[in-house]
Amino acid sequence: MRLRFFTLDVFTTHRFAGNPLAVVLGADGLDVATMQNIAREFALSETVFVLEPRDPVNTARLRIFTPARELPFAGHPTIGAAILLATQRAPEMLTRNGIVIALEEEVGLVRCDVVRDASRAVLARFAAPRLPLPGAPAPEAEALARALGLSGADIGFARHIPSRFSAGVEFVFIPLSSRSALDRARPDPALFPAAMGEAVGAYLYTSDTVEPASAVCARMFANGVGIGEDPATGSAAAAFAGVAHAFEAPEDGEHEFVIEQGYAMGRPSRIILGSRIEAGRLVAVTVAGHAVEMQRGELEL
């Protein structure tokens, strides 16, 4: 069996930046064990497998794997797969009115709008399949500090305290007082897994950003998914809308801001997070970003 694959750099307009993604096309004949082995072989934070949709009105069905497990939803595979399918199937439409890509994921249907912007880069935007929901209380700040090689004084800024949120995948969100603390963070392998529990990872963030136009600078240390640090985490960005709503209390209306991630890894990434607030309630969340194709080839199985 031969299957085409592509790799893309996602949440960036430049190659060798952003979060690398492998996309395997025509994967209907693969079983779960083979998909997991292929994801382990690529050794990227995620590999996405494109299958025929269950409902023919949709574009495709996706299965998303880290090197160690399958995920029901992830942001950079959604963005990357949508941009690849749009550029493969209808490149002429991207410059005119754009194209809608409807993706069946394990979390549910995810609708993506894909367009070539004024800079000629291709951008995809999706509505989060689930609104962010708070989880159980986060661990105490001192316990999180020890698990990350930091001090208790490094945890928190303004009204932000550690929290748990999920928009399909749960993360522990940990506000840090400075980018210096963000750069110093190093998970302790003896303490980190217990502090995270069932969460996919720790999402560390600070308002002390690299780029003046960004709202927060973030890092994501993964828990039990076969990678250490992720250069850009769209599923965490979607859940972060719940964090922003809880601790910033934004006014009613449309809001959009940029999350920068991956800078400490030499893979700068820019995630555009949107939200809509009505009567004080968070009612809609969007995640957007660019992607560029890096390579293409064939798998022989």
pLDDT of residue 260: 98
92 and 42 within one domain = yes
Return the beta strands (E) in the chain as ranges: 2-10, 19-24, 47-51, 60-65, 70-71, 99-105, 108-116, 122-127, 133-134, 163-166, 170-175, 201-206, 216-222, 229-230, 253-261, 269-278, 281-300
141 and 277 within one domain = yes
Percent of the chain scored above 70 by pLDDT? Answer: 100
Over the range 31-60, which residues count as b (16 or more CB within 10 Å of their CB) and which as e? eeeebbebbeebebbbbbbbbebeeeebbb
Query: Does residue 242 form part of some domain?
Result: yes
- Mean local confidence (pLDDT), 246-258: 97
pLDDT of residue 148: 98
Question: Tens of pLDDT along 56-82?
Answer: 999 999 999 999 999 999 999 999 999
242 and 177 within one domain = yes
pLDDT of residue 20: 98
pLDDT of residue 95: 83
Catalytic residue among 46, 105, 229, 260: 46
Per the annotation, the verdict on 46 as an active-site residue is: yes
Chain position carrying tokens 């029901």: 72
Query: Does residue 295 form part of some domain?
Result: no
User: From CA 157, how far away is CA 177, in angstroms rounded?
Assistant: 5
Closest CA to 147 of 132, 167, 168, 162: 162
pTM (predicted TM-score): 0.96
50 and 92 within one domain = yes
- Mean local confidence (pLDDT), 174-191: 98
91 and 20 within one domain = yes
282 and 141 within one domain = yes
3-state DSSP helix/strand/coil % of the chain, to nearest 5: 25, 40, 35
Q: Look up the CATH number of the domain holding residue 15.
A: 3.10.310.10
Q: What amino acid is encoded at 37 in this protein?
A: N
Task: Compute CA distances 53 → 26, 62, 102, 270, 297, whole Å.
Answer: 11, 8, 9, 30, 23
Question: Tens of pLDDT along 22-61?
Answer: 999 999 999 999 999 999 999 999 999 999 999 999 999 9
Length of the chain equals 301
Range of the domain at 176: 133-289
pLDDT of residue 117: 86
176 and 255 within one domain = yes
- Mean local confidence (pLDDT), 100-104: 98
- Mean local confidence (pLDDT), 184-213: 97
276 and 165 within one domain = yes
User: Last residue of a domain, which of 75, 100, 127?
Assistant: 127
Chain position carrying tokens 């199937």: 89
Find the angle CA(129)-CA(174)-CA(258) to the nearest 5 degrees: 55
Closest CA to 274 of 249, 256, 250: 256
Closest CA to 166 of 276, 285, 268, 11: 285
Sign of CA dihedral 98, 99, 100, 106: negative
Question: Tens of pLDDT along 120-169?
Answer: 899 999 999 999 999 999 999 999 999 999 999 999 999 999 999 999 99
pLDDT of residue 187: 98
Number of domains in the chain: 2
Q: Is the pLDDT of residue 118 over 90?
A: no
pLDDT of residue 112: 98
Query: Does residue 296 form part of some domain?
Result: no
pLDDT of residue 176: 98
Mean pLDDT of the residues in the chain: 97
User: Last residue of a domain, which of 109, 127, 145?
Assistant: 127
pLDDT of residue 97: 86
User: Last residue of a domain, which of 127, 156, 182?
Assistant: 127
User: From CA 205, how far away is CA 174, in angstroms rounded?
Assistant: 6
Q: Are 261 and 253 in contact (CB under 8 A)?
A: no
